[in-house]
Amino acid sequence: MPVPSPQRYASGGRRQGIDSQTLDNAIAAITRIRATDPRITPVLTLRHLSVLTELPFLFLRRTVARQERVGYRTIFLKKRIPGRSSMRRISIPPKSLAHVQNWLVQNVLQYTSAHPASFAFHPDSSPVLAAEQHPDTKWLLKVDIQDFFHSISEGTVASIFSRLGFPKLLAFELGRLCTIPCNRGPSRNPKPHPSPIEFYRSDFEGYLPQGAATSPMLANLAMSMTDQRLSALAEKFGFRYSRYADDLAFSSPNDHALADLQKLKRNVFHILNSSGFRPNLRKTVIRGPGARRIVLGMLVDGKEPRLSKEFKDNIRLHLYYLTSPQHGPQKHALSRKTGVSSMYHHVRGLIAWARQVEITYGEEALAKFKSVNWPPIQPRMVHCSLDDIMDKDD
């Protein structure tokens, strides 16, 4: 979105009778934001954001104050490998709040940069690129962050917007617009982030909702310093480091003692804990020679990532029954206790993933899939997560 030069902005402000101190503060804020990236749209106040997004100022202010009844729609998805709970909470914002969050993505967050070790939630990133960082792996340490999005507080989000150059009050307000309040129960609520004005005081600290458009990019920015520390730690131990969302991988193509991996793990845990994140102990694994070394569902013990035998066998089994005259889509879906459309999208998703990792195998599977005599298929309404298609078990 084009923004006038500081000179033209000051000239226009003087013609409207705005005092010089206010104009100087506004120009300083615009200069700070442009110094981060000239493509970021400067926003000076919540009322300014109201004009830019064409949303009522009172709605935005009451949302920031946690007084507006913002009805996030909550759904629960079953986790393949549970942590503290067996379900993943997805919070979907209402249209009005989703509009301002999408505006922030398109006009601010898409012009920010994640740490080079991060391979999720930004343009040209992918799990395959993350796995490509670990060729010829002999030793592998995998760590998962527990409740990743929910570990990032509104205070952290406000600090991110402040570092991008936005005025402190507005940074606080943007942090509130991108987070959801939560009463965690007696003695479990963290100390709320201090409110700059009394009207905004809240008893509960908000966190990033998994399901909001702003959460992925904000999570990457919240992890930037932690990624930097983990990268330095990996280099110190002679390991390579990558992060895909909440999945951390440390690998080495060289020989190591198991004690080296244990020491590395303790150091990783220390960095995560000191950064406000908790490692998921159930999903923390060490794999060495003789064991399968898998990163994000791909084997990484060779020159390039490749699909596991189990993953290919699963696709092969589906295609056998789908193309068999004795079975076909209807009988195969019935045997799996699902609908034909659900079966279609599930197998199609598996093949799409296979094409990303091993294109020749994926193309062959896709050709066979297209030869199936499918009945009319309903469009997919809810997209599966990466966990649903990747063979992440070791």
How many structural domains are present in the chain? 4
- Classify strands 278-279 and 206-207 as parallel, antiparallel or unpaired: unpaired
Q: Does residue 379 form part of some domain?
A: no
Structure token digits, residue 46: 């919540």
Q: Does residue 256 form part of some domain?
A: yes
Residue with more model confidence, 66 or 53: 53
Q: Do 264 and 140 fall within a single domain? A: yes
How many residues are given for the chain? 394
- Dmax (CA) for the chain in angstroms is 82
Q: Do 48 and 162 fall within a single domain? A: yes
Q: Do 131 and 269 fall within a single domain? A: yes
Q: Do 58 and 178 fall within a single domain? A: yes
Place 262 in a pLDDT band, splitting at 50, 70 and 90.
very high
pLDDT tens figures, 95-132: 999 999 999 999 999 999 999 999 999 887 899 999 99
Place of tokens 């996030």: 72
Q: Do 173 and 313 fall within a single domain? A: no
Q: Measuring CA to CA, which residue among 334, 327, 118, 371 is closest to residue 243?
A: 118
Q: Do 249 and 338 fall within a single domain? A: no
Q: Do 169 and 83 fall within a single domain? A: yes
Q: Do 260 and 237 fall within a single domain? A: yes
- Yes or no: say if 322 and 347 are a contact pair by the CB < 8 Å rule: yes
Task: Specify which of 11-20, 120-129, 150-159 reaches the highest per-range mean pLDDT.
Answer: 150-159
For 302-342, give the DSSP string.
SSS-EE-HHHHHHHHHHHHHHH-TTSHHHHHHHHTTS-HHH
Predicted TM-score (pTM) of this structure: 0.86
C-alpha to C-alpha distance for 307 and 116, rounded to whole angstroms:
25
Q: Does residue 387 form part of some domain?
A: no
Place 2 in a pLDDT band, splitting at 50, 70 and 90.
low
pLDDT for residue 38: 92
Q: Do 141 and 157 fall within a single domain? A: no
SS3 148: coil
Residue that finishes a domain, picked among 297, 328, 348: 297
In the chain, % helix, strand, coil (3-state, to 5) comes to: 50, 15, 40
pLDDT for residue 57: 96
pLDDT tens figures, 210-226: 999 999 999 999 999 99
Q: Does residue 120 form part of some domain?
A: no
Q: Does residue 394 form part of some domain?
A: no
Q: Do 289 and 229 fall within a single domain? A: yes
CATH number at residue 271: 3.30.70.270
Q: Measuring CA to CA, which residue among 131, 135, 143, 138 is closest to residue 288?
A: 138
Chain centroid to CA 15 = 45
Place 82 in a pLDDT band, splitting at 50, 70 and 90.
very low
Residue that finishes a domain, picked among 297, 323, 343: 297
pLDDT for residue 392: 53
Full domain range(s) for residue 355: 307-369
- Yes or no: say if 157 and 208 are a contact pair by the CB < 8 Å rule: yes
SS3 78: strand
Q: Do 131 and 238 fall within a single domain? A: yes
Q: Does residue 100 form part of some domain?
A: yes
> 2 vs 38, 42, 90, 122, 330, CA distance in Å?
10, 10, 35, 23, 55
pLDDT for residue 183: 65
Place 88 in a pLDDT band, splitting at 50, 70 and 90.
confident
Place 18 in a pLDDT band, splitting at 50, 70 and 90.
confident
Q: Does residue 316 form part of some domain?
A: yes
Least confident of 73-77, 255-259, 298-302: 73-77
Q: Do 52 and 105 fall within a single domain? A: yes
Q: Does residue 391 form part of some domain?
A: no
